[in-house]
């Protein structure tokens, strides 16, 4: 399963990329707004740090506007994936983008039928939002299980990009279900590495080593 970092923050991306922990990046208008910088400048910087898919979302809600933005964003770098909202106008634009060979990520997906439509129209990725689904007392991961099964039934090439991941548990469950990608905030990525027994174990190894070393050289 691929790991994408869900952020528009350059420091976080630089750090995760340096350690080889990420395969790509996803952004959304809220994440970009938090940075208070020009969207395209941010995207250009990300393309220099990460050699993998980088999702950039349109903000138009009509097909013509979505297409205009999509072509503009796709021009920035070959790794840019145009993120299109799961709305009727978005689907009209998606069909055209698929025909034009522009890679896409259909976002704000909350049920299997929405994902099925996006896959039929040639989306490269679909982004079901598990955390936001959990927030309204639904089970986000059951949506992922449905999508994995449906996409397998029909052999769709569209990849399931598990979005709105809020904890390491979401990542583990996404991997167990066989999702293609999970995108997560920097904090969750860091949590994936941690286990208290790892820290305790390492501390003990190093202490024992030091003790033996001192005894040999005493």
Catalytic residues: 83
Residue whose CB is less far from ligand E4P, 116 or 161: 161
| 92 contacts ligand E4P (rule: CB under 6 A) | no
Cβ neighbours of 117 (radius 10 Å): 17
Given 29, 52, 131, 168, the residue binding ligand E4P (CB under 6 A): 131
The whole-angstrom distance between residue 157's C-alpha and the CA centroid of its chain comes to 17
Residue whose CB is less far from ligand E4P, 65 or 131: 131
Binding mask 110-129 for ligand E4P (x = CB under 6 A): -----------------x-x
| 164 contacts ligand E4P (rule: CB under 6 A) | yes
Residue whose CB is less far from ligand E4P, 97 or 184: 184
Size of site (CB under 6 A) for ligand E4P: 11
Start-end of H helices in 75-167: 88-99, 112-120, 130-135, 140-154
C-beta of 55: minimal distance to ligand E4P in Å? 6
Paired tokens of 39 = 């969207």
How many Å apart are CA 213 and CA 218, to the nearest integer?
Answer: 9
Phi, psi of 107 (to 5 degrees): -110, 165
Given 12, 17, 25, 28, the residue binding ligand E4P (CB under 6 A): 28
How many Å apart are CA 23 and CA 38, to the nearest integer?
Answer: 24
Q: From residue 63, how far is each of 39, 69, 87, 106, 128 by CA, in Å?
A: 21, 10, 10, 14, 21
Q: Residue 47: which H helix or E strand, with range?
A: helix 39-49
| 163 contacts ligand E4P (rule: CB under 6 A) | yes
C-beta of 164: minimal distance to ligand E4P in Å? 3
C-beta of 183: minimal distance to ligand E4P in Å? 5
149: CB partners within 8 A, 6+ apart: none
C-beta of 214: minimal distance to ligand E4P in Å? 49
| 12 contacts ligand E4P (rule: CB under 6 A) | no
C-beta of 89: minimal distance to ligand E4P in Å? 19
Residue whose CB is less far from ligand E4P, 7 or 102: 7
Given 12, 16, 24, 26, the residue binding ligand E4P (CB under 6 A): 26
What distance separates the 2 farthest-apart alpha carbons in the chain? 79
């Amino acid at each position: 399963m691929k790991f994408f970092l869900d952020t528009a923050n350059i420091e976080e991306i630089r750090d995760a990329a340096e350690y080889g922990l990420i395969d790509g990046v996803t952004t959304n208008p809220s994440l970009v707004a938090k940075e208070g910088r020009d969207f395209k400048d941010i995207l250009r910087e990300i393309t220099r740090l990460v050699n993998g898919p980088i999702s950039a979302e349109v903000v138009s809600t009509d097909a013509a506007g979505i297409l205009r933005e999509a072509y503009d964003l796709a021009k920035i770098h070959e790794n840019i994936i145009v993120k299109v909202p799961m709305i009727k106008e978005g689907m009209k634009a998606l069909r055209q983008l698929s025909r034009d060979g522009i890679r896409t990520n259909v976002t704000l997906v909350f049920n299997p039928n929405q994902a099925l439509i996006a896959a039929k129209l040639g989306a490269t990725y679909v982004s079901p939002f598990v955390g936001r689904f959990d927030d309204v007392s639904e089970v986000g991961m059951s949506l992922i299980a449905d999508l994995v099964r449906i996409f397998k039934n029909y052999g769709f090439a569209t990849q399931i990009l598990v979005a709105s991941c809020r904890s390491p548990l979401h990542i583990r469950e996404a991997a167990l279900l066989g999702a293609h990608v999970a995108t997560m905030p920097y904090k969750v990525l860091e949590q994936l590495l941690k286990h208290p027994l790892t820290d305790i174990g390492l501390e003990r190894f190093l202490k024992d080593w030091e003790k033996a070393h001192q005894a040999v050289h005493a």
